[in-house]
Amino acid sequence: MKNKISLIFSAMTLCFMPFLTAHADVEYDTADPMFIEKTGDFLSKSGLYFNDSIMRLSQTFSYGVTDKLSLSADMKYQQDLNGTEDGFSNIGLGTVYRLSNEDNVISDALFGVNFGGNKKIRSPEFADTIYYAGMRIGRRWSAVTLAGTLKTSWIFDEVSGMAYIDLIPEMYLRVSQNWMTGIGFDIKKSTNPSFDQEWANFKLVRKYGRTQYVGHLDYEFSSSEYQFGVKVNVLF
């Protein structure tokens, strides 16, 4: 897996390096992995994803309490186009606190809780409530952002209690003033190895002022599962 990550990152860098001359306005670049809202900013992220016969909808609202503190709420819903596995799979609350931002080296603390929805569609099905905490660190240049997130999650179930660790490296390229692209990985390890996952994701971003349209393609290596879709980010 480490070799896969290194090869893909290297290929992305070599392919786009000749074009990294124009720089987008990072203040409104809501798809940047190190983005945080300014005081009073309100961000809406609406997502539509497809995976085989499953259609997933997501909505996230976040608000900049200060330049260093952001609060968010999100919910996810899925529709089974060939069955009955419909309903809400997740409702969550989260916060991001900016610890430092010196010489474009940024660090954030992450905290939150996800409340499980319909038992037959949430993953894992016993995850009634998931608590998480983490850190993300990134370095931002005029045309490139490199970021890494380390997050731990806990499920307190008397029978099937479990913990996760997620390692999420990302590379984000500002190809021009209005076009961006990025690649990342989510390496998920669990105290129950049957829930381990290794996701790769690619996104292509088109920016119009404070609105961004984000195309997504995600792939899980061990199960050969994939999903694709689009997200619309609007910053008020």
**What is the distance of C-alpha 202 from the center of its chain?**
11
pLDDT at 222 over 80: yes
Q: How far apart are CA 174 and CA 181, in angstroms?
A: 7
Q: What is the pLDDT of residues 69-87, one digit of tens each?
A: 999 999 999 998 887 888 8
How many domains are contained in the chain? Answer: 1
Give 64's strand partners. 70
Segments forming the whole domain that contains residue 93: 2-235
The CATH number given to whatever domain includes residue 55 is 2.40.160.40
Q: CA distances (Å), 208 to each of 24, 69, 179, 235, in order?
A: 11, 25, 10, 11
Provide the pLDDT confidence category of residue 197 given band limits of 50, 70 and 90.
Answer: very high
Q: How far apart are CA 53 and CA 210, in angstroms?
A: 33
Tell me the pTM: 0.85
Return mean pLDDT, the chain: 88
Task: Report the amino acid identity of residue 139.
Answer: R
Q: What is the pLDDT of residues 156-167, one digit of tens each?
A: 987 888 999 999
Do 209 and 215 touch, CB atoms closer than 8 A? no
- pLDDT at position 202 is 97
